[in-house]
Amino acid sequence: MISEKLQDAINEQIKYELYSAYMYLAMSADCSDRNLTGFEHWMRLQAQEEIEHAMRFYDFLLERGGRVELQAIDKPPFEFGSPLEIMEQSLEHERFVTSRINGLYDLAQAEQDRPAQIMLQWFVTEQVEEEASIDEIVQRMKMFGTDGAALFMLDRDLEARGPEEVEA
């Protein structure tokens, strides 16, 4: 049985994962409005992944005899600025999520909840990948530019992103 403290913290994290989905979906809509179809596609897949993250926590709570209590989700911004600013905001957000995952891991250790620690290890690894993939895009934009041919080619490459394999 999961402790109430950890249960509450995971319920809070479900909210942040769903907010992440909300934010990426809002970014996707903003990119769609500017005909950045690759960015739009990339952000939409990112939103789907965030819903899967929320469901991992949701299922874990139910499996452990915890109570899922969904929280209110904040409204995301409507506009996000330039393509580079969108990616920089994504990176900043993922760094924030990483700090939350680390905090959850520390709490699972303090509560001596080994199943939660094992479940959270997947998220620790996932956050490394999330930050690295977005940072790569940010660095590419800074190196090759953020308009004209460079933006066109990046948008085309982002369009090629496929859905991530979801591990069992």
Selected binder of ligand FEO within 2, 10, 17, 57 (CB under 6 A):
17
Calculate ∠ Cα 125-28-36, nearest 5°. 115
Q: Does 155 bind ligand FEO (CB under 6 A)?
A: no
Q: How far apart are CA 143 and CA 133, in angstroms?
A: 16
Say how many Å lie between the first and final Cα of the chain, rounded: 22
Q: Does 88 bind ligand FEO (CB under 6 A)?
A: no
Q: How far apart are CA 116 and CA 61, in angstroms?
A: 9
Q: Does 53 bind ligand FEO (CB under 6 A)?
A: yes
Measured CA to CA in angstroms, residue 164 lies from 50, 82, 93 at distances of: 11, 26, 20
Query: How many Cβ atoms from other residues are within 10 Å of residue 141's Cβ?
Result: 19
Q: Does 28 bind ligand FEO (CB under 6 A)?
A: no
The mark string for 102-141 relative to ligand FEO (x by CB under 6 A, - otherwise) is: ----------------------------x-----------
Q: How far apart are CA 64 and CA 164, in angstroms?
A: 26
Q: Does 20 bind ligand FEO (CB under 6 A)?
A: yes
**For residues 93 and 141, which CB has a smaller minimum distance to ligand FEO in the complex?**
93
Q: Does 23 bind ligand FEO (CB under 6 A)?
A: no
Residue nearest to ligand FEO (CB): 53
Q: How far apart are CA 126 and CA 56, in angstroms?
A: 12
Q: How far is the CB of 134 from ligand FEO (least distance, A)?
A: 9
Give the binding-site size for ligand FEO (rule: CB under 6 A): 7
**For residues 65 and 163, which CB has a smaller minimum distance to ligand FEO in the complex?**
163
Beta carbons of 26 and 50 less than 8 angstroms apart:
no
Q: How far is the CB of 161 from ligand FEO (least distance, A)?
A: 14
Residues contributing to the site for ligand FEO (CB under 6 A) = 17, 20, 50, 53, 94, 97, 130
